Chain A
C-alpha cells in the first residue's frame, strides 16, 4: 500500500514534468530566477531536476532538496507556460516524496505543521501575539511575523474626515438567495496576526448575510507544501465535516480559499471522499468573489489613494483579478501598480527560510508601490500582508499596508 502511494506520487510528478520541452518561457517571469539567475532556480531548472530525479539522473541529495524547496509556488511560470506545466504541484509532490523517503518532513516543518494543526495552539499564539503587539514587543520578533496593524479606525481617521469627497456608498443589493447559508472560514494567519481585519471581514459579511463562524482547522497549505500530505488530508476531512451544513464558505485569505478550492483534486481517487470533497471545494468562495456576487458596495468612499497587491493564490490560483479591484475602485482612488500580480516573496514560510532572497523580491514590489503614489497598499492574504507591512516600514511611511476588509 505504501509503495503504491509512493509510485502514485512519482507518477503525478512524472506526468507533469515530462511535458516540459525546456523552451525557457518561464525564465523571465520567475521571481526567484530574477534574484538568483542560475538555471536551478528557474521553473525550467526545477522541473528538469524533478525529471532527472525520477528517471535516475540525479540522486536525492540535500542540494536537490534545497532546489525543490526554493520555489514560491507562485504559479507565474504556469501562467506563461505554453503547456501550462504545474511546476508548483510538481514541487509540492517532490517535497512529499523526499519527506516519505526520509521518514517524514523536516523537524522545522513538522513543528510548524503540528502547531497549525492544533486549534488551541493557534488560539494561544493569537493571544500571545496580541499581548506582544500591545506592549510593543512585536517589533523585536525577527522576520516581521508580528507586523504592526493599521486599523480601519486609524484609516478612517486619516482618509474619511470632513475632506472626504463622497458620502456613504449606496446600499448593497444582495443577489444570492436569502436562504443561502454562508459560513466564514477563518485562516490561521488571519487569526494569529490580523485579528482586526478578521473583525472587519465579519462586519462586512454581516451586512449581506448571517455568516456562521465555525471553529475550523487550518486549510493545510503549509502541510501539503512541505511534505505533510497525510496531515493535510486529515484536516481537510475534518473541515468537510465542520462545514457540512454551509452552502457557501467564504475566506478572507487567498491562500486558504485557493487551497480549499483544490481539495477536490486531492481526493479524486478516494471513493469514500471523492464526492464530498468535490462538493466542498465547489462551495468555497474568496471574500471579494463572494462580495461582488452578493452585490456588496463598500461602506464608504474615502479620499485615500489605494493600490492592490494581487496574491498569487488569488489571481493565478483562482482567476480572481477583477473583483478586488472593482471593490477598491468604489472605496477610494484606485491606482494599479506595475507587476501587481508578481509574488511579494512571502510565500508561506519562504520569507523566513530565505530572508535575503525574499527581501530582494519585496524591494522590487516596494518600488512599484511607491511609483503609484498610493497611500495604502491593499492585499488579501496574511503572508502578503506581513510582507507589505515590511515594505511599508522600509518606505519610511510613504504608504501603509491593509487587508482589503479594512478598506472596503
Chain B
C-alpha cells in the first residue's frame, strides 16, 4: 500500500500523467514475457514513469523513506520475470528516458539513457560506420537499460561477446536515491572494484541504471550467410568447433535440431530432407568480398570433413534473408506445435553441446514430452523448448520434472542455468545448485551492501 500522501509527493516529482494507479494500468505493468502466469496478476501499487535521473533519484528517496519496494522496468520483454513487481510497490518504468546523450566518434563510444531501444542505438551507430554488436532476439523492441540489467546476449556472441563486453560505465541511482557513477571512457581502468560489471546483469536488484556508456567497434564491411545440413548433431557441432579452432570465427553460428527444423519446414512450406538431423546457419563478416569467399571456402572444406550433406552459400541479399528466415521463424514455429511452451536458456561449455542435447533427448523420452532444441552452438548457449498442454492431467508435473532435470544435467556437464535471460523469478529455485551456499551468500552480502532495506526488485535471483 502506498498512501495518497506519498502518491501526491511522487506525482509532484514526475508529473501526474506519469504516475498511474488505475486498476487497468496496474494490470498493464504486472507482467513480462516470462511464463509466469498472467493471473493472479502481480500488480504494482503505483506505476511511475520518470524522465530524468534527478526524477529517479527523488522517487527513490521517497520510496526509501517509506519502505516501498521498487521494480525497474524497460519494455517488459524479459523471459524470467525480472521486471514483474512481485512485492507490489512501485513499477518504475524507464521507457521515457530515451535520450542519446552523446555519440563520441573519436573514442568510439556512445552514451545513452536506459529507455533507448537497442535497434535504434544500433542504427544510429551504423550510420557512422560504428557497430554495437549485442543482438538479443528482442533487440527490435527491448531497451538498452533492460539489456544491461540482464546482461543480454544474442546470436553474435560467438565472435563479439555479450552486453557486458561493451559496457564501459554506468550512472546508477542507488536504493536511497544516491547517484553513483561507475567506470568511464578510459579503456584501461583498474581504479577500485569493477562496479560496472557488477551492475551489469544485476537484474535491477542493486540500483536503477539511468545512463550507460557503451564501447563500439568498426562496422564490418561485408557479410554473408551459409546454411549447412548434417546427418547428425555431433557432426554439426564438430564442424563449428573445428572452425573456431582453425581461426574461422563466424559472426553467428545457430544450430537447430530436427524437431525445430521440421516445424519451420511445415510453417514455411519448405521441403527438408527427413534424414537431416541438424541445420547450422552461419553468418560471416569481413573487410571485403575476398575475405568472405576465403571464410566460406574454409567452412565448406571443414564441413565436408564432417559429412555435411548440403552447403548453401547465399548468392544474394535475398538468399541471405531466406536462410535467416528459417532461423527467425524457428521460435514461433516451435511454439505453435503445442498450447504451451517452456523455453529455457541453459549454457554449457561449447564442447558439451552435443552431449547436452543427448541428455535432453533422454529426458524427453523419459517424461514423454516433445523438447525442441536450438541455440547458439558457437557459444554453447542452448534453448530447449519443452512443448506441452497443461490441460492434460499430470502433464504439468512431468514438465516441471523435465525442466528440473535439464537444469541438473546442464550443471553436471559444467554449464549454468542461464546464458542470457537471467535468473529472475523462474530459475531462482535452482540458484543454490548452480552457485553453492557460499556463492549465494556472497550475492546476498553484495545485495545487503547496496540495498540494506531489500527494496530493489524483491523476490528475484534467490
User: Which A residues are within 8 Å of any B CB, using their own CB?
Assistant: 18, 21-28, 37-40, 45, 48-49, 51-52, 55-58, 61, 63-64, 67, 82-84
Contact = CB atoms under 8 A, between A and B. Distances in A.
B27 A27 contact: no
B95 A63 contact: no
B332 A38 contact: no
Contacts of B23: 58, 61, 63
B142 interface: yes
Given A28-B117, A48-B38, A52-B38, A83 B336 contact: yes
B33 to A, nearest CB: 5
Interface residues of B, number: 33
Interface string B14-53: 0000001011110111011101001111000000000000
A83 B141 contact: no
Contacts of A57: 27, 38-41
B24 A51 contact: no
Contacts of A18: 339
A22 B39 contact: no
A40 B38 contact: no
B292 to A, nearest CB: 30
Contacts of A84: 332
Given A24-B142, A28-B117, A28-B140, A49 B332 contact: no
Contacts of A55: 38-39
A40 B29 CA distance: 9
Nearest to B336: A83
A28 B118 CA distance: 12
A83 B335 CA distance: 8
A28 B331 CA distance: 20
B27 A52 contact: yes
Contacts of B117: 28
A309 to B, nearest CB: 24
Contact of A82 (B20, B25, B27, B331): B331
A27 B75 CA distance: 8
B224 interface: no
A55 B37 CA distance: 11
Given A24-B142, A37-B95, A57-B27, 16 more contacts: A21-B33, A21-B341, A22-B32, A23-B33, A24-B138, A25-B140, A28-B117, A38-B25, A39-B28, A40-B25, A40-B28, A45-B28, A48-B31, A52-B38, A61-B23, A61-B24
B17 to A, nearest CB: 9
Q: Which of A21, A23, A28, A63 has the most CB of B within 10 A?
A: A23
23 contacts: A22-B32, A22-B33, A23-B138, A24-B33, A25-B141, A27-B75, A27-B141, A39-B25, A40-B24, A40-B25, A45-B28, A48-B38, A49-B27, A51-B38, A52-B27, A52-B38, A57-B38, A57-B40, A57-B41, A58-B24, A63-B23, A82-B329, A83-B332
Contacts of A22: 31-33, 76
A293 to B, nearest CB: 24
Contacts of A83: 332, 335-336
A277 B138 CA distance: 41
Interface string B322-348: 000000010110011001010000000
Interface in B65-113: 75-77, 95-96
Nearest first, the 3 A-B pairs at minimum CB distance are A39-B28, A82-B332, A24-B77
Nearest to B96: A37
A52 B332 CA distance: 23
Contacts of B329: 82
Given A51-B38, A56-B39, A57-B38, A23 B29 contact: no
B201 to A, nearest CB: 20
A21 B77 contact: no
Contacts of A51: 38
Contacts of A82: 329, 331-332, 335
Given A24-B138, A24-B142, A38 B20 contact: yes
Contacts of A37: 95-96
A94 to B, nearest CB: 14
